A and B are shown apart, each in its own frame.
Chain A
Amino acid sequence: MSAIQSPANRVWWKQPLDRVEGSWIAIAFVWCLVMFFMMPYWHVYGKQNLSNEAYRTTPEMFSGKTQAMVDKYKVREETDLKIPVVHPPAGSDVYLIARLWQWWPMLELEEGKTYRLHLSSMDWLHGFSLQPENINIEVHPNYEHVVTLTPTRAGTYSIICNEYCGINHHTMASRLYVVKPK
């Protein structure tokens, strides 16, 4: 009986497994287990894991912390909008605000040093997309995500927004500088 008709056998459950199907199920199942265990494996032995550290916050609280960092570590301003560039000490907590339609402030980090990057949005969802590294993290309002990251190569990087955030979404872009440690 074909697949559009009822099975001919009253008890079809007892049909012995065909050799083609049996072999394939065994092989595919092993592969599924390999893929599954790759994820915990990478948590232990791999270096690229997204942090689980997150807090509930408010836009006011988060922008307050960011402002404090900017006041302390601002080194210069860029573009007509006078966006501050901050150079916080290696190993410190750095803050990045996502808002319509800007990343604020600009960060200058040192190569090979590890930072705790705090991400939050002031309004809608935004997408932290670091190019050309291609690291992509969702940024939520009212949640503070703390990501520990280590820039490995000096250079000028871009942060673009890759979560649709309204009519000027495509204008939301900023820079991230990675410099050699002095």
Chain B
Amino acid sequence: MAVNRMFRICPSTGLSYHEPAEKLIRWNAVAGVVSLLVGGILALLIILTRWQAVHLLPPDWFYLVLTVHGLDMLVFWIIFFEIAVLYFCASTLLRCRLAAPRWAWTAFVLMVAGALINNYSVFRGDSSVMFTSYAPMGAHPTFYLGLILFAVGALIGCFVFFGTLVLAKNEKTYRGSVPLVTFGAVTAAIIAVFTIASGAIILIPTFLWSVGLVDHIDSLMYRTVWWAFGHSAQQVNVAAHVSVWYAIAAIVFNAKPMSEKVSRTAFLLYILFLQLASAHHLLADPGLTSNWKIFNTSYAMYLAVLASMVHGLTVPGSIEVAQREKGFNNGLFEWLRRAPWGNPCFSALFISLIGFGFLGGISGVMMGTEQLNLIIHNTIYVPGHFHATVVIGTTLAFMGLTYFLIPTLFRRELMFPGLAKWQPYVFGLGMCGFSLFMMGAGTLGVPRRHWDMSFAGNPLGYEFPGMAYLMMALMAICGLAAIVGGAMYLLITVGSVFLGKKIETPGFAYVRAKDGVAPTTRPVEVAFETHGTNIGTAGFAAPGTFVLAMVFLVAFVLYYFVNWKYLSTVWPLS
């Protein structure tokens, strides 16, 4: 069988693209952005409903729209984009042909079909069961069928990725170890395989139940296994966006990882422990013991949190070292002041990093504490937390990466560069406010997934304090700003991809396997470069980053114990 070995080299970045891989990366990214568009329009409707002063949608539409928003954003947008990132990390970064492009296309077709079928079932009106679809609340069979098809497609995509790694090793397109970013993608793909397997374990019986072939689905069993899918899916995002952070640092600053050993070990901790955190969702459930809850919710002694704290240091640390070596070596923060704040790749990375750490990370660990979860569970604090992780962390990082991909992958000039400069700020800061005010409302007890916090006309309704309404209104206003930021992103990317000025680059050319795309150098024994001898202060190569990390730690410790203090004032429970 003839193997497609058509490659092209991007003249400005030096990256090499394999023809089928390039098409697949493009199409997966485009499908992701389309999902983001749909999810974004629905986000606007949700914001305008939960803003009690506007209260736009009727309840049936609100719950329907919230269901689709959750699925399109948390599943379809992110996983399509992640598949694109996986192919990029395997094929492009390893300069290798993509394994089994036909399977990759099958995967893509299954994913698109699954997403469409699933959205269709919700828009029918009888499957407003939310993203979580907790049995025994049932949806139309096509709801589960769509998700299953999508998951099968994504699983095939993961195996195409693994297959490409094997090809690259056999064809010696790289020597030694894979790049760190590819290693991060390996981490994401491993977590994805576990995620999808768990999804299959629970969604296939639920599908059979919905068509009447199984007569009972246990609610606790469903929640336990479902969250191995639902939460791990978000852990795929964490691994993927951390790799994207490293990639952007490398692209914008040519930053080297501070140490391969530390960063890769941190990814290994993700592989081992990150998925245990699915227990975060079951801390307020009956029947699972505290032993199970404490061990799992803490990722086995917070070892995955340790990993995130390490990445949170090494990504800006590597940027700091790169900047200091360029000469921005004065004081603690010259490297940061002189960073390219007008480059949307960088500003998206930076806001993503800070927002993910300070808002998403701290809140996640706090509410993932067994006892503290009692005062948080199912309040709107929870979506406040995961909008900080999934939107500020993942989506914004992916947005940053797109600004790099448009010229090199789509070979188009970026349209509206002035607008692109501002986009990460409008979107990122809007989302920061949105998450923060949601968390504020959550601490006052405002429930999530709730059409009417005023309980209008209900004689037994609860009257939330005025502050809760204020928080919800501020949330909505910040949310609108984020919607504007999202619209800017869509305008820029869709505009550039379809109407942007074409960049003329050398086309695809046939490369024999034995020649490789470019000669690969064999890694050698060289003396390790030591930082900190001529840069930084007091033997610290990245003192500014270390100071930022300590600020983060202080915020973390204070917030954590404030919540324990608050918990100690509620009714004794045992």
Is there any pair of Cβ atoms, one from A and one from B, under 8 angstroms apart in the complex?
Answer: yes
CA gap between A70 and B134 in the complex, in Å: 30
In whole angstroms, how far apart are the Cα atoms of A35 and B460 in the complex? Answer: 39
When distances are taken between beta carbons in the complex, the residues of chain B under 8 Å from A17 are 259, 261-262
Q: How large is the interface on A (under 10, 10 to 19, 20 to 34, 35 or more residues)?
A: 35 or more
A38 to B433 Cα, complex, angstroms: 30
Interchain CA distance A171-B460 in the complex, whole Å: 9
**B445 & A28 in contact (Cβ 8 Å cutoff):** no
B284 touching A136 by the CB < 8 A rule?
yes
Given contacts A31-B557, A170-B452, contact A13 B261 (CB under 8 A): yes
Q: Which residues of A contact B445 (CB under 8 A)?
A: 129, 131-132, 134
Q: B460 touching A164 by the CB < 8 A rule?
A: no
A148 CB contact (under 8 Å) in B178, B567, B573: B573
Inter-subunit contact A6/B218 (CB<8 Å): no
B528/A9 in contact, CB under 8 A: yes
Chain B residues within an 8 Å CB radius of A80: 459
B residues less than 8 Å from A15 (CB atoms): 259-261, 528
By a CB distance below 8 angstroms, the chain B residues around A33 are: 301-302
A158 surroundings in chain B (CB, below 8 A): 460-462
Contact with A along B402-418 (1 / 0, CB 8 A): 00000000000000000
Structural contact, A135 and B557, CB atoms closer than 8 A: no
Stretch at the interface among A41-49, A61-69, A87-95: A41-49
B256:A3 contact, CB within 8 angstroms: yes
Q: Are B553 and A123 interface neighbours, CB within 8 A?
A: no
Does B542 reach chain A (CB closer than 8 Å)?
Answer: yes
**B228-280 interface with A by 8 A CB criterion:** 246-247, 249-251, 254-263
Stretch of B28-36, B335-343, B504-512, B543-551 lying at the A interface: B543-551
Whether A52 touches B564, Cβ cut-off 8 Å, given contacts A36-B298, A131-B462, A171-B458, is no
Name the distance in Å between B528's Cβ and chain A's nearest Cβ: 5
The answer, yes or no, to whether B198 is at the interface (CB within 8 Å) is no
Selecting from B78-86, B367-375, B495-503, the interface stretch reads B367-375
Q: Does chain B have a CB within 8 A of A99? A: no
Contact A138 B285 (CB under 8 A): yes
0 or 1 for each of A126-163: is its CB under 8 Å from B? (1 = yes): 01011111111110111111011111100000101111
Asked whether B573 lies within 8 Å of A135 as measured between CB atoms, the reply is yes
* A residues less than 8 Å from B452 (CB atoms): 170
**Quick check: A25 and B306 within 8 Å, CB to CB?**
yes
Distance A50 CA – B283 CA, assembled complex (angstroms): 8
Known: A20-B541, A124-B134, A140-B286. A48 touches B462 (CB 8 A): no
Range for the number of chain B residues in contact with chain A: 35 or more
Q: Is A75 an interface residue, CB under 8 A from the partner?
A: no
A142 touching B218 by the CB < 8 A rule? yes
A143 touches B255 (CB 8 A): no
Which of B148-156, B201-209, B472-480, B519-527 forms part of the interface with chain A?
Answer: B519-527
Query: A2 vs B453: C-alpha distance in the bound complex, in angstroms?
Result: 51
Q: Which of B98-106, B110-118, B312-320, B420-428 contacts A (4 or more CB under 8 A)?
A: B312-320
Contact: B63 with A167, CB < 8 Å?
A: yes
Tell whether B93 is near chain A: CB-to-CB under 8 Å: yes
Q: Quick check: A2 and B254 within 8 Å, CB to CB?
A: yes
For B26, the chain A residues whose CB sits under 8 A away are none
Partner of B286, one of A46, A136, A145, A167: A145
B481, chain A: closest CB distance, angstroms: 27
Knowing A12-B260, A18-B259, A24-B549 are in contact, say whether A29-B306 is a contact too (CB < 8 A): yes
Could you mark each residue 21-33 of chain A with 1 if its beta carbon is under 8 Å from any beta carbon of chain B, else 0?
1011101110111
Q: How far is the CB of B243 from chain A (nearest CB, A)?
A: 8
Set of chain B residues within 8 Å of A132, measured between Cβ atoms: 444-445, 465
Nearest-Cβ distance from residue A61 to partner chain B, whole angstroms:
15
Chain B positions 554 through 573: 1 when the CB is less than 8 Å from some CB of chain A, otherwise 0: 00110010001001101111
Say if the beta carbon of B219 comes within 8 Å of chain A: yes
A interface with B by C-beta (< 8 Å): 1-21, 23-25, 27-29, 31-33, 35-36, 38-40, 42-43, 46-52, 54, 79-80, 114, 119, 123-125, 127, 129-138, 140-145, 147-152, 158, 160-171, 173-175
26 pairs, CB–CB < 8 Å, chain A vs chain B = A2-B256, A3-B263, A6-B175, A6-B176, A11-B525, A15-B261, A19-B541, A20-B541, A20-B546, A21-B258, A33-B301, A35-B560, A39-B369, A47-B572, A48-B567, A124-B219, A129-B447, A131-B462, A133-B571, A134-B445, A138-B286, A143-B220, A149-B573, A158-B461, A164-B130, A166-B137
- 12 additional A-B residue pairs with CB within 8 Å, beyond A50-B290, A167-B60: A15-B261, A20-B543, A25-B306, A35-B298, A46-B568, A48-B570, A50-B371, A79-B460, A135-B573, A148-B573, A161-B447, A170-B453
List 8 tightest A-B contacts by C-beta distance, closest first. A145-B286, A158-B462, A32-B302, A162-B447, A54-B286, A2-B250, A136-B377, A47-B572
